[in-house]
Structure 1
Amino acid sequence: MSATVDVTTWYLEQTSAADRVPAREPEEAAALRVERAEVPSPEFSRFLYTAVGGDTTWVDRLPWTRAQWRDFLDRPGVETWVAHHRGTPAGFIELDGASGAAEGTVEISYFGLLPAFRGRGLGGHLLSLGTARAWDLADRWEGHRPTTRVWVHTCSRDGAHARANYERRGFRVYRTETEQEPDVPTPGPWPGA
């Protein structure tokens, strides 16, 4: 029998653009550029996913094939925004407005920084920009209702400051769940790392 661990998941939301609390601009703002990855790339998205989540047990998408990545990224209302620090990818925020388009709901499906860029004020800034974009997502995608809700979930396996960062940006917890999950090792940024 494999070992299990209790994992607490917090679901957080904003129900009005007025809920947003922007982060202060980081000291390194001049060296930071945030732009949309306009060409859906399964390889690049998988790189971001493994580089950011490799030390925090992001394993859900590791079995995805290239076709599954492509199918997800090609849906209208899915956007990936990448932070570059002096030309190097530092983190990303992935918005999924496709699933809740009819209701005006946008999920922040993934968000985080590569380990070398954490603790420098960049995460709050990227989350602020990404959340602002989530509230404006309907402007970009025809057929989407205006955004009425932005939500995200984080868990006790994510970064130690993830939940606090969401709450500082104006997200409120609306549901908490604790479940037993397999105690899997952190996958690292590549197989065998």
Structure 2
Amino acid sequence: MNTKDKILEKSIELFNNQGVHNVGVRDVARALEMSPGNVSYHFPKKEDLILALMEKMSEGNNFCLEAYGQKEASLLSFIALYEGLFTNQFAYRGLLIGNTEFEDVLRNRYAYKKTYEKRVHQLQNILIGLRNKGLLHLSEPDQKMFLAFLTFFGRSWIHESFIYQQNDSAKETIQHYINLLKWQLSLIATEEGKLQLAQLA
């Protein structure tokens, strides 16, 4: 592992355990037994470090979505997609929870609107594919509403989990929210779709 990757790995570990606002570049350097200058060489400011981690998190999300695209559309692969997305988000939870520095970088340096629009378009195509396979009952208004639910759920689950699931493992936490997603899907699933969901029980 090169120095840059070591810095990123240690940074997200510290951010997850202590919160971004409690960890500075010097703390990362100390944990790695490096000079602060060595860390600053790769990441001149803390916001550069946050931005690099945001990009890695986005790459993880892209990997999950691309993997879904290689599979036949089914509710089984849809749930697997969300298990992957939630696992990736959980790995970067320190960035996402109660972090004004992350929000500043998101607003000022990261093309979030463009990324958000791309994600919505990807999810819309996934839902259309599931509907066309006869797995979901989705009128156009239903599709818009379920898409809105997915984008909201995808952003908010991690925040709620740290209020109500504090004592659960990562696996238990993710499974709880996957079960909520499965229940929502069951409300709009066709008979064939419900049979697929039953395989996940």
Establish whether TM, by shorter chain, passes 0.5: no
Which of the two has greater helix per residue? 2
Q: So what's the TM-score if we normalise by structure 2?
A: 0.25
Q: So what's the TM-score if we normalise by structure 1?
A: 0.26
Which of the two has greater strand per residue? 1
